[in-house]
Amino acid sequence: MGRFNTPILSESAKLALEQDFKTSQVHCYHMRCQVILLKSTGRKSEEVGEITGMTYVSVNAWVKRYKDLGIEGLINRSVKDVM
């Protein structure tokens, strides 16, 4: 059995991720929001990876970055100017 890497989302964080997932024009950011939303439901990283087209390693890396930096951590530095 693997360890659990499930982000716990407040209602406001969940709403912000859902809004950005629906409205973002930046594909990579859109997918990262989806990763966090899917992982917050308790899905395995492998399953989330299959849904999003990412490896489970990438899924885990984005979850860690979200836990460390919040929603801002999902945005590439080069993309912040576009958003």
Query: pLDDT tens digits, residue range 4-54?
Result: 789 999 999 999 999 999 999 999 999 999 999 999 999 999 999 999 999
Judge whether 51 lies within some domain. yes
Judge whether 27 lies within some domain. yes
pLDDT at residue number 66:
96
Q: Does the pLDDT of residue 60 top 70, yes or no?
A: yes
pLDDT at residue number 5:
81
Residue closest to 33 by CA, chosen among 82, 78, 6, 73: 73
Q: Does the pLDDT of residue 1 top 80, yes or no?
A: no
What are φ and ψ of residue 23, in 5° steps?
-110, -15
Amino acid found at 82: V
> Are 79 and 26 in contact, with CB atoms under 8 Å apart?
yes
| pTM confidence score | 0.88
Judge whether 80 lies within some domain. no
Judge whether 6 lies within some domain. no
Q: How far apart are CA 22 and CA 17, in angstroms?
A: 9
Judge whether 5 lies within some domain. no
Judge whether 2 lies within some domain. no
Q: 3 versus 83: which is more confidently predicted?
A: 3
> Are 42 and 80 in contact, with CB atoms under 8 Å apart?
no
pLDDT at residue number 82:
52
Cα–Cα distances (Å) from 69 to 14, 35, 46, in that order, read 15, 15, 23
> Are 33 and 7 in contact, with CB atoms under 8 Å apart?
no
Domain span at residue 33 reads 11-74
Count of structural domains within the chain: 1
Q: 13 versus 76: which is more confidently predicted?
A: 13
